[in-house]
Amino acid sequence: MYSSRDPDWLETLAIEALNEHTLAGLAVGVVRGGGLDRVVGLGLADASARRPVDGGTVFRIGSISKTMTAIAVMQLVEERRLALDDPVGEHLRSSRVQSPPGAPPVTVRHLLTHSAGIGEIRSWRDVTRPMIGLASKAGEPAPELADYYRGGVRAEVAPGTKWAYANHGFALLGLLVQDLRGAPFAEVMRERVFDPLGMDHTDFVRSDRVSDRLAVGYGLRARGRMKPVKDHEIAVGPAGSCYSCTEDMGRYVAALLDRGAPLLRTETFELMLAPQGVRGEHLPGMGLSFFVERMGGRRVAGHDGGWPGFISSMLVAPDDGVGVVAFTNTNTEAAPHLLAERVLRRRLDAPAPADPVVPEDPHLWRELAGIYRPAPGLKTNLRVWPLIGGEAEVLVRKGHLTVRAQSPLRPLRRGVRLRAADRDDPLAFEARHNDVRVAVAFERDDARPGGVAAGRLDVGRVHAPAPPAARDQRAAVVAGGGHGDGRRRGGRGGAPPAPAGPRVNQARLSGFEGSTDTATPAAVARNPAFREAGQLLLSRANGQSGTARVGEAVFSHASAIARSAPTGGRRWGAIPESSARPAAQVGIPSDEPFEESSMLKSRRLAAVALAAGALATVPACSEDVESGADKVKQDGEDVGGKAEDAAKEAGGKAEDLARDGRGKAEDAAREARKAAGDATDSK
């Protein structure tokens, strides 16, 4: 915990991060000289027990786990029990991995570099499961890997043609390790990675090694209330289920700084940090599980991680012998990564890059302006759609080149300026918002003289708030030119309009070369897999599950937007009238018209793609929806019961009053008749 003395530079940075991002707890460690040099713990690991965060507090480190799984794979490579370019199917015994017809097989290297063409779901049934199938139900244990993948995994696109972050790829690598070692994956990791490093409080399962030190994950709710998140076990364990503390992670980072010793040979570790595939000098690269980039001219490798209630970051500068880890037990966007980067820059004496001072060339802007979409592939785009709403637009706005998208990130919705970043490369740009810097590099289309057909967009520093499985995303959006249903044009700010014509830029998530086809929102809605997902959700609506109700609303939304799409000039993505199909033909309800919000009016059609992406968030909240619905139902029954009792009581009192009233009326009548008789007698 923080002491009463004045904080030093590391404590100051940690306190600033804690306060700026409203974190329940935070731990940051600096590694150099062969071990953990400094640890700062702030806040609470468990608010109910008032247990503070310290170096021994165990966090769920999320996708940093992937680097550990990769080391276990590379140990098998060193033993020559497999090779990086071997088809996975030659060694995997408990499952199978299939490629599309005519495509090459998925290799070990493909899985280690997120280029296998495997999506974020096994099948569309996963959209109705917790965390799109990546988690077990709250309170239930994680499934056995062999059982979880018994039905196999099918690559959606040809391996090596598209970069798409895939938890299932690393889970399959864990299953591969398990099959070849003949022992449970977690046991293999303890024996071959954690125990040799003295990581006694680290495990891939919630064992006695970690359970008594585990932090509680929190989320900041309305009115500033920190509430514990639901506790789910991770089904894809090798991809993200590791538990560890700052002290143990200091030992792990020290091994990485020692070029992998004693876990790997130096040449093997260096191979893991070597960029795989060509992505351009302006963009961060992808090694074997590690993301690699430059910081102040120094080589840096690392990985982030995220799970509901926990966000983590690890950065290593192997040539300088310095590493940083940062963990929080709070739902946040990018706090640990930003803190780790600030700390590492301080240790490397590498100040944050200054704003680019490069003259811009407005004459190129008309060639860059256009719509950029992910390449075809519903399953491999589930992380992209929630982030950019199906497409991103490059336009000239207020006299500057700008990129915007219908995104949950407010700055991206409003538009982020693209600034020239390299005097020698007029197609290299940088988008910046506060501490977040995003490299953007366009490419020329050799087939179209003078034309710019493609752009690359690194979103490695942008973390979407939801779903949590997207928070560790570092993707490269690579745009490829082609023809589509839109019209390219200059935006406001005086830029000349682009020549009329059906041209639209298309984006694909890939660090590799490969052709793409136009992927319009209409094509998304017509996709059989999309229809299958809609029909599945609607079939479950009869059972009145929360997931089905939310799914039905999503598809109703998409259907109504598709029906109301304009057919004239394109602003954000109009579908030609001939392309828009009735809702009934795509398996979505059409009897409930959807009233568009003002935010959606500006770009109606691309919301079809956004709706597909929103499916990724449906299972994450389905249990909350169901539990909320159950509570409302119970409250309704209680109110109804009380109302019924009150009605009975009121009815009983009314009957008593009526009887009393009738008796008094009868008495009054008798008195009246008696008085009338007396009056007659007196006459």
In a domain, 683, yes or no: no
Which of the residue ranges 450-459, 565-574, 604-613 would you say has the lowest mean pLDDT?
565-574
Residue 138 sits in the same domain as residue 285: yes
- Contacts for 310 with CB less than 8 Å, ≥ 6 apart: 59, 60, 61, 62, 215, 217, 327, 328, 329
Which of the residue ranges 174-178, 508-512, 566-570 would you say has the lowest mean pLDDT?
508-512
Percentage of the residues of the chain whose pLDDT score is greater than 90:
46
51 has pLDDT over 90: yes
Cis ω on the peptide bond leading into residue 262 (within 30° of 0)? yes
Q: What mean pLDDT comes out for the span 610-628? A: 39
Per-residue confidence (pLDDT) for residue 274, from 0 to 100: 94
* Per-residue confidence band for 472, with pLDDT thresholds at 50, 70 and 90: very low
Which of the residue ranges 323-327, 334-338, 453-457 would you say has the lowest mean pLDDT?
453-457
Per-residue confidence (pLDDT) for residue 406, from 0 to 100: 85
Q: How far apart are CA 297 and CA 348, in angstroms?
A: 10
Residue 124 sits in the same domain as residue 153: yes
Neighbours of 415 (CB within 10 A): 18
Residue 119 sits in the same domain as residue 250: yes
263 has pLDDT over 60: yes
**Bridge partner residues of 294 (DSSP):** 299
In a domain, 243, yes or no: yes
- For 516, list phi and psi in degrees, rounded to 5: -130, 160
Per-residue confidence (pLDDT) for residue 127, from 0 to 100: 81
451 has pLDDT over 80: no
Instruction: Yes or no: say if 137 and 234 are a contact pair by the CB < 8 Å rule.
Output: no
Neighbours of 571 (CB within 10 A): 15
248: amino acid identity, one letter: D
Residue 341 sits in the same domain as residue 404: no
**Bridge partner residues of 503 (DSSP):** 483
Percentage of the residues of the chain whose pLDDT score is greater than 70:
66
Per-residue confidence (pLDDT) for residue 129, from 0 to 100: 85
607 has pLDDT over 80: no
Per-residue confidence (pLDDT) for residue 231, from 0 to 100: 92
The listed range with the strongest mean pLDDT (131-135, 486-490, 492-496) is: 131-135
* Per-residue confidence band for 441, with pLDDT thresholds at 50, 70 and 90: confident
Alpha-carbon torsion (139, 145, 146, 151), positive or negative:
positive
- Provide the residue range defining the domain that includes 305: 9-348
Per-residue confidence (pLDDT) for residue 168, from 0 to 100: 95
Per-residue confidence (pLDDT) for residue 476, from 0 to 100: 32
In a domain, 356, yes or no: no
459 has pLDDT over 50: no
Instruction: Yes or no: say if 185 and 129 are a contact pair by the CB < 8 Å rule.
Output: no
pLDDT in tens, 81-113: 999 999 999 999 999 999 999 999 999 999 999
pLDDT in tens, 160-179: 988 889 999 999 999 999 99
545 has pLDDT over 50: no
Residue 374 sits in the same domain as residue 394: yes
- Mean pLDDT (the chain) is 74
Neighbours of 143 (CB within 10 A): 15
Structure token pair of residue 6: 């004045």
Angle ∠(394,395,399) on CA atoms, nearest 5? 135
Per-residue confidence (pLDDT) for residue 647, from 0 to 100: 62
pLDDT in tens, 380-425: 888 877 778 778 889 999 999 999 988 888 888 999 999 998 888 8
Domain boundary among 305, 326, 348: 348
Q: What mean pLDDT comes out for the span 190-201? A: 98
Structure token pair of residue 31: 């590694």
* Per-residue confidence band for 550, with pLDDT thresholds at 50, 70 and 90: very low
Instruction: Yes or no: say if 121 and 133 are a contact pair by the CB < 8 Å rule.
Output: yes
In a domain, 332, yes or no: yes
Per-residue confidence (pLDDT) for residue 503, from 0 to 100: 30
531 has pLDDT over 70: no
Residue 416 sits in the same domain as residue 339: no
Q: Which has the closest alpha carbon to 580: 501, 505, 521?
A: 521
pLDDT in tens, 5-47: 778 999 999 999 999 999 999 999 999 999 999 999 999 999 9
- Looking at the chain, how many residues does it have? 683
Return the higher-pLDDT residue of 440 and 260. Answer: 260
In a domain, 664, yes or no: no
User: Would you give the distance in Å from CA 567 to the centre of its chain?
Assistant: 33
Per-residue confidence (pLDDT) for residue 125, from 0 to 100: 81
Per-residue confidence (pLDDT) for residue 159, from 0 to 100: 95
352 has pLDDT over 90: no
Q: How far apart are CA 390 and CA 607, in angstroms?
A: 7
Alpha-carbon torsion (280, 284, 289, 295), positive or negative:
positive
Which of the residue ranges 223-232, 372-381, 581-590 would you say has the lowest mean pLDDT?
581-590
Per-residue confidence (pLDDT) for residue 547, from 0 to 100: 39
In a domain, 357, yes or no: no
Structure token pair of residue 373: 């979409």
Task: Give the chain's domain count.
Answer: 3
Residue 411 sits in the same domain as residue 450: yes
What CATH number should be reported for the domain holding residue 114?
Answer: 3.40.710.10
Domain boundary among 318, 348, 378: 348
Q: How far apart are CA 42 and CA 383, in angstroms?
A: 32
pLDDT in tens, 284-308: 689 999 999 989 889 999 999 999 9
* Per-residue confidence band for 591, with pLDDT thresholds at 50, 70 and 90: very low
In a domain, 663, yes or no: no
645 has pLDDT over 70: no
* Per-residue confidence band for 198, with pLDDT thresholds at 50, 70 and 90: very high
Residue 323 sits in the same domain as residue 227: yes
Q: What mean pLDDT comes out for the span 630-652? A: 58
Per-residue confidence (pLDDT) for residue 588, from 0 to 100: 27
Return the higher-pLDDT residue of 70 and 379. Answer: 70
Per-residue confidence (pLDDT) for residue 3, from 0 to 100: 55
Q: What mean pLDDT comes out for the span 50-61? A: 98
In a domain, 646, yes or no: no
Residue 427 sits in the same domain as residue 303: no
79 has pLDDT over 80: yes
Structure token pair of residue 308: 């509901």
Residue 378 sits in the same domain as residue 341: no
Residue 506 sits in the same domain as residue 530: no
Domain boundary among 588, 616, 644: 616
Instruction: Yes or no: say if 205 and 49 are a contact pair by the CB < 8 Å rule.
Output: no
Return the higher-pLDDT residue of 586 and 397. Answer: 397
* Per-residue confidence band for 682, with pLDDT thresholds at 50, 70 and 90: low
Residue 502 sits in the same domain as residue 538: no
638 has pLDDT over 70: no
- For 595, list phi and psi in degrees, rounded to 5: -90, 115
